[in-house]
Amino acid sequence: MSVTFKTGDMFVEPVDALVNTVNCVGVMGKGVALEFKQRWPDNFKAYKTACDTKQLVPGRIFVYQIGGLLGSDGPRFLVNFPTKAHWRAPSKLSYIADGLDALVDEIRHFGIKSIALPPLGCGNGGLEWSEVKPLILQKLSNLDGVKVVVFSPRETVDEPEFSERANLLMNRTRATLLKTLSELEVQFEGAFDRLSLQKIVYFLQTLGVNFNLSFERNLYGPYSEPLKKAFGALERHGMISGFFNGDKRAHVTPAGCAAADDFLRSNDIVIDEIVQKLARLIEGYEGPYGMELLSSVHWLAVNEKRYPVEKVIEALREWSEHKNLFDEPSIRGAYRRLTADGLIS
């Protein structure tokens, strides 16, 4: 059967298998990969294990089998296809070529009769569709008895993740923030919600990074309005991406990471200790719920002098009805973490 090209929603295509474009570090943070993660969390867990154990590399694919012949109406196979070694890096045409060879082998091995693919390595990957399309045709056209449907890229694609548009003046605090975020992204599964970004900067300043920001009590914990504008400026200059998106999940671009690394290296600035302290502090609290809890407990104990922990529990109940979502064991756990890490004396 021939390869056909179309546009639209790949996820409604009636096929045996769907191809998911992934990296090899266990992050599904945006685009097609994020959609796969949300639809099939068990596939994500299996994929992440394959990454953690170094089984998934460019040129090798990981097939996740959903069910047997009498399974659900959806696809029976999810094909995790590495188009990048790391999510920060661009795709390479050689990864696509080698991956397609591996895909042919797996299609035959599993007896797949129909399969749908996204535009491999294009869009955020940075490859040109004019180069990828003929490669797909060359590799997949000779599959006898297999229906291959390829979804062409949208006319307007997202800016490639490796854009080199980072020309905002770099300084010590910006470099420290960008480097810290890039190091923490895996903990936050590849991207940060806006609330978590606020709290990360709050704790960085608490740990000694002088952002010269004033925080105030807000519904969701300590908050700085100027910080929101600062993140907007970072996005406009290509150092972060996703802050303005509808889902409001941001990540550091490779250009932003490179600019931060260059500044820190050229000025002999080492921030490893601060990053490690912050990573230990927030471990287990990644995400809006945990970061709000941890920062709110710290704010009350340090800025409003509410201690011991019983006073913090009482103050949280008075803060707003919203804070009732935090139960007493969780509040005590956050207080213990902050005390153990030296942020509450």
Question: How many domains would you assign to the chain?
Answer: 2
Verify that 135 and 187 share a domain, yes or no: no
The pLDDT score that the predictor gives to residue 70 is: 40
Verify that 318 and 189 share a domain, yes or no: yes
- Inside any domain, residue 180: yes
CA–CA separation, 101 and 54 (whole Å) = 20
Task: Single out the residue in 119, 151, 183 at which a domain terminates.
Answer: 151
Verify that 220 and 334 share a domain, yes or no: yes
The pLDDT score that the predictor gives to residue 69 is: 43
Verify that 297 and 218 share a domain, yes or no: yes
CA–CA separation, 323 and 287 (whole Å) = 16
CA–CA separation, 332 and 29 (whole Å) = 32
pLDDT digits (tens, 9 = 90+) for 13-56: 999 999 999 999 998 877 788 888 888 989 999 999 999 999 99
Rg (CA), the chain: 23
> Scanning the structure block, which residue is given the tokens 């970072």?
234
- Inside any domain, residue 330: yes
Task: Tell me the whole-structure pTM to 2 decimals.
Answer: 0.59
Verify that 259 and 299 share a domain, yes or no: yes
CA–CA separation, 275 and 189 (whole Å) = 17
Give residue 234's domain range.
Answer: 172-340
DSSP per-residue letters across 71-139 = --SS-SEEEEEES-SSTTSPP-HHHHHHHHHHHHHHHHHHT--EEEE--TT-GGG---HHHHHHHHHHH
pLDDT digits (tens, 9 = 90+) for 129-153: 989 999 999 999 889 999 999 999 8
Q: Is 84 a catalytic residue?
A: yes
Q: Are 19 and 75 in contact (CB under 8 A)?
A: no
Q: Provide the sign of the torsion angle of the four alpha carbons 296, 298, 304, 306, taken in this order.
A: positive
CA–CA separation, 232 and 211 (whole Å) = 16
Verify that 318 and 219 share a domain, yes or no: yes
Task: Single out the residue in 151, 185, 209 at which a domain terminates.
Answer: 151
The pLDDT score that the predictor gives to residue 39 is: 86
DSSP per-residue letters across 219-245 = TTEEE-HHHHHHHHHHHHTTSEESTTS
- Inside any domain, residue 133: yes
Task: Single out the residue in 103, 122, 151 at which a domain terminates.
Answer: 151
Verify that 250 and 306 share a domain, yes or no: yes
Verify that 86 and 202 share a domain, yes or no: no
CB atoms inside a 10 Å sphere around CB 337: 21
- Inside any domain, residue 237: yes
For residue 13, give both structure tokens: 């295509």
- Inside any domain, residue 160: no
Verify that 101 and 182 share a domain, yes or no: no
Give the DSSP H or E segment for 216. Answer: strand 216-218
The catalytically annotated residue of 84, 147, 179, 199 is: 84
Verify that 129 and 232 share a domain, yes or no: no
Sheet holding 192-193, edge to edge: 192-193, 249-252, 240-241
In this structure, what CATH number is given to the domain that contains residue 115? Answer: 3.40.220.10
Long-range contacts at 228-236 (CB < 8 A, ≥ 24 apart): 228/194, 228/198, 231/194, 231/197, 233/168, 234/168, 234/174, 234/178
The pLDDT score that the predictor gives to residue 315 is: 96
Verify that 116 and 39 share a domain, yes or no: yes
Q: Are 55 and 44 in contact (CB under 8 A)?
A: no
- Inside any domain, residue 19: yes
- Inside any domain, residue 163: no
Verify that 141 and 246 share a domain, yes or no: no
- Inside any domain, residue 128: yes
What residues of the chain score a pLDDT lower than 70? 1, 67-73, 154-168, 245-248
